[in-house]
Structure 1
């Protein structure tokens, strides 16, 4: 398997999520600084004009508390996305915004739906289900970590608190699950060690030849190696001696 398909860290893993979150903060700063009212660019369900919110709503927040609550999970989850699923990270983010936003537009109440929480639910759902479907220990561990950190978010996919877009959360959850099926084969795999290869033969492993059957290190050199070294020395000495005679 090609190197880029394995898990490995690069500057983009943290840089892209960080710039993404900072961009949202810059938009909020500009809104406060210049007195813009961007809430009207959010998703307004069943309204043609409200469709523009499908694209803009993740970048609009109602308060600094709202933005702060979304920033940390967005940064953490998007970083995990770029590390473990680098080849499809931008697809998950881009299509996640569009699909979850459109679903919110379809099922939402007649009100403006804003904030990046819908995208956060896309990432939580995708990372969790993708790890389960992949049956890979690292990805399963990541899924369990996501459940531990953000498992309680499942309650907010139901109308339990006024003023929260549970429709956006539910849409994100459904979208993430859908993406876990669609991108089923697009996962990185770790490099296999030599003993994990199907054609591996323990008796032919040159490393294991340095140990006895009890696992003790064999300090002396193999006889065949000594003979090979000796033959080389003798051959060289004979040639050197022949040159001296001439």
Structure 2
């Protein structure tokens, strides 16, 4: 990666989560200043006006606790997305938000559904499944880390607690899985060992030469290497003259 590309990637990794976090906190601050709430801009199922929540609902939160609980995982997962899947990160966020919002609009209970948790489920789902599908060991390790840190999120895909939009969670989860399947993300080619390469010849392998056909160790004769030592003397003329 060139220095210029690395600089651009670093900027995205820092700026993207910063903008996301600032946006949701700014909306909540506006609610406090205006002494109102924007819940009516959330997703309201199967109504035309409720469709506006597909775009607006991730920015709206019902309480400070709700906002705080979404802030840290949102920042971490967006950072992870832009670092490991930089080429498709914006598409995942934009398309995934639309898909998860529409799913919520179709299946949810008659209530306003708000909060960035649908985006959190979208990102966790995409990062997990994409890592598994690529079969690249670092991304698989990342997937396992997501499970370890956010594995408890799976419980909230079901209606186990009143007041939580499990429909939004499920919509985000499905959207992340779908995008992990259809989006092509460039990943490093798996490392091939010497013996996996097409031009590999067993008889030329220096390691295998140390063993006979029965697998017994054979000590190779060491060729004496004569090193010629050459010493060069450099004389520097003294230009300082004494009176």
TM-score > 0.5, shorter chain as reference: yes
User: What SS is found at the alignment partner of 2:91?
Assistant: helix
Q: Does structure 1 conserve the Cα–Cα contact (< 8 Å) formed by 2:136 and 2:190?
A: no
Q: Does structure 2 conserve the Cα–Cα contact (< 8 Å) formed by 1:7 and 1:83?
A: no
- Residue matched to 2:168: 168
Q: CA deviation at 1:188?
A: 2.4
- Residue matched to 2:186: 187
- Residue matched to 1:29: 29
Work out the number of aligned pairs and report it. Answer: 215
Q: CA deviation at 1:198?
A: 3.6
Q: Determine the C-alpha separation between the residues in 2 that align with 1:98 and 1:65.
A: 25
Q: Does structure 2 conserve the Cα–Cα contact (< 8 Å) formed by 1:31 and 1:38?
A: yes
User: What SS is found at the alignment partner of 2:13?
Assistant: helix
Q: Give yes or no for the alignment of 1:140 onto 2:122.
A: no
- After superposition, where does 1:120-131 map in structure 2 within 5 Å? 120-131=120-131
User: What SS is found at the alignment partner of 1:187?
Assistant: coil
Mark the runs of 5 or more structure 1 residues left unpaired by the alignment: 214-221, 231-246
- After superposition, where does 1:80-91 map in structure 2 within 5 Å? 80-91=80-91
- Residue matched to 2:152: 152
C-alpha distance 10-152 of structure 1, shift in aligned 2 (>3 A): same
- After superposition, where does 1:190-209 map in structure 2 within 5 Å? 198=197
Q: Determine the C-alpha separation between the residues in 2 that align with 1:191 and 1:3.
A: 21
Per the normalisation by structure 1, the TM-score is: 0.76
Q: Determine the C-alpha separation between the residues in 2 that align with 1:48 and 1:196.
A: 62
User: What SS is found at the alignment partner of 1:98?
Assistant: helix
- Residue matched to 2:48: 48
C-alpha distance 33-177 of structure 1, shift in aligned 2 (>3 A): same
Q: Does structure 1 conserve the Cα–Cα contact (< 8 Å) formed by 2:100 and 2:168?
A: yes
Q: Does structure 1 conserve the Cα–Cα contact (< 8 Å) formed by 2:134 and 2:187?
A: no
Q: CA deviation at 1:7?
A: 9.2
- Residue matched to 1:77: 77
- Residue matched to 2:13: 13
Q: State the Cα RMSD in Å.
A: 3.4
Per the normalisation by structure 2, the TM-score is: 0.77
Which deviates more from structure 2 when the two are superposed, residues 89-98 or residues 20-29?
A: 20-29
Counting helix residues as a fraction of each chain, which structure ranks higher? Answer: 1
User: What SS is found at the alignment partner of 1:124?
Assistant: helix
- Residue matched to 1:118: 118
